[in-house]
Amino acid sequence: MLYDALIGPFTEFEFMRRALAAVIALALAGAPIGVFLMLRRMSLVGDAMAHAILPGAAVGFLLSGLNLFAMTAGGLIAGFAVAILAGVVARSTGLKEDASLATFYLASLALGVTIVSIKGTNIDLLHVLFGNILAMDDQTLLVVAFNATITLLVLAVIYRPLVIQSVDPLFLRTVSRAGGPAHLVFLALVVINLVNGFQALGTLLAVGLMILPAGIARFWSRDLTAMICIAVVAAAVSGYAGLVLSFQTRVPSGPAIILVATVLYVVSVLFGRVGGILRQLFPGRHLEA
Amino acid sequence: MAALHFHNVTLGYDRHPAVHHLGGKIALGSLVAVIGPNGAGKSTLLRGIVGILRPLDGSIHLGGLDSKDIACLPQSAEIDRSFPISVFDFVSTGLWRAAGLFGGIGKAARDKILRAIGSVGLNGFENRPIGTLSGGQMQRVLFARVLLQDASLIVLDEPFNAIDSKTTADLLALVKHWHAEGRTVLAALHDLEMVRNHFSETLVLARGPVAWGPTAEVLTPENLLVAMRMCEAFDDSAAACGEDGRVQPA
């Protein structure tokens, strides 16, 4: 009975296995990126970038229909363009990055929805906005896995400057010129993972599997490494549970995954070891030292 | 031999000078205090020296020093203390010059880090997140990192602000130790008593240089008054500067 509910769908249906493999790949790469987004106070920047991807994906859709490969390529190009433009504008004018991004992403979202609606139906638009992880073919799965692998390798390369830049940016500038490039590479990784998430969760929710696990991790640890591990596990669990939920209740898979992550988040806010509400209300008797 | 040579340097933001027409030299191995009211350009000057702010005009020469041979102690307000990083990891970033992007941190380096943490009096704090430290403890952590950087030129931006007397004494001893080792130390300070007692050379800065030389000669009430007055408000519609005024050290 329990087997039928929790494991059965995956042994029985290939599309469920593919979807599970995809969410695990997304969790492995996206969650660490999300942790850095959060720690660098860029959570909403991630959200903004997710919208920025839309016109590129929409052009891909316009050229070759619901072909995930074309949409991915388009999304990557648009995402990079916006990330780099916003980064350059912020760096050369002193305008805060989030402000310059807001401009770019609003324009992109408007443009993207316009492009999709020129050719597509409302179903297409829904698909673009919320994704469809259950429709993933082998090729798409390989693209997702490839992107996740690249992300982890590149993140390992820029890890040190990225951490130092988050804590003490001025110090990094005095010892190295790696800070600027590391930041741009990080933005590129954000884009890659958003495009990855876009396959599964669509433009509007892609950032969810990055930011929510990061938020969850924040409530359980004060150590960066531990936070990254917790975030990855939280994302994978949300992905798995979301797929099961979606299978059993016919809720669309993308929203189901994000809803499970939200539940985990609420539990963390309430019961988290680091700054959870319950812990603050009932801290226990104060210690001796 | 000069560790630093200012050639009529002007530093600032968005064309507005914060340090205006500074010329002069800082000798190798000297212990220099930079004093002046808030907004006098002390931090700006230090940023220019460590190379994170390019001069609007003029230049700063590092006589024979590698630009990487400078250690800088920032004002702690510029550090994100909420970032989840331990004291050990934070201090270890001082090894950047040796380890760089990928270099490992071996047994010898770990010992060095632990020694640095020990010599600022923070034994046992290695695994504490920096967010849980007091202001004075954080300042000790920053000093430990400078210690690890092992640089010939050390630049300290208001290192003793809001620090209690015990911590100040401990950290000041470190500064004097660096001086004794022949390193050049430049510190932006507010405590005139400390400057008088411990720093041989002083630059009084108030956007432009007011006076520069041996502390006893420079630290006069007249100079301090001039410094107070010179720090006039930011003028949004200031005209382009044509003057080439310099003040040389006495």
Q: Which residue of B lies nearest to A164 if distances are taken between CA atoms?
A: B93
B71 CB neighbours in chain A (<8 A) are 174
Between CA B23 and CA B230 the distance in angstroms is 17
Q: Do B84 and A221 touch (CB under 8 A)?
A: yes
Per DSSP bridges, beta strands B208-214 and B201-206 are: antiparallel
Predicted confidence (pLDDT) at residue A138 exceeds the cutoff of 50: yes
- The stretches in chain B having pLDDT less than 70 are 1, 231-238, 242-250
Report the range out of A43-47, A65-69, B132-136 with the highest average pLDDT.
B132-136
Across the range A115-128, mean pLDDT stands at 76
List the Cα angle A192/A197/A203 in 5-degree steps.
Answer: 100
The structure's pTM equals 0.86
Structure tokens at A75: 């999304």
A157 CB neighbours in chain B (<8 A) are 101-102
Q: Taking all residues of chain A, what is their mean pLDDT, rounded to a whole number?
A: 86
Q: Do B130 and A170 touch (CB under 8 A)?
A: no
Between CA B202 and CA B191 the distance in angstroms is 12
Q: Do B93 and A168 touch (CB under 8 A)?
A: yes
Sequence-separated (6 or more) residues with CB below 8 Å from residue A266: none
Structure tokens at A157: 């390369």
| ipTM of model | 0.84
Better pLDDT: A215 or A48: A215
Predicted confidence (pLDDT) at residue A40 exceeds the cutoff of 50: yes
Report the range out of A44-48, A177-181, B159-163, B194-198 with the highest average pLDDT.
B194-198
pLDDT at position B24 is: 87
For A10-27, the pLDDT digits (tens) are 888 989 999 999 999 999
Distance from CA of A262 to the nearest CA of B (A): 23
pLDDT band at A262 (very low <50, low <70, confident <90, very high): very high
For A187-234, the pLDDT digits (tens) are 889 988 988 888 778 877 888 999 999 999 999 999 999 999 999 999
pLDDT band at A60 (very low <50, low <70, confident <90, very high): confident
pLDDT at position B228 is: 81
Q: Are B155 and B72 in contact (CB under 8 A)?
A: yes
Strand pairing partners for B156? Answer: B73, B187
Q: Do A171 and B83 touch (CB under 8 A)?
A: no
pLDDT at position B250 is: 47
Distance from CA of A83 to the nearest CA of B (A): 24
C-alpha B221 chain-centroid distance: 24
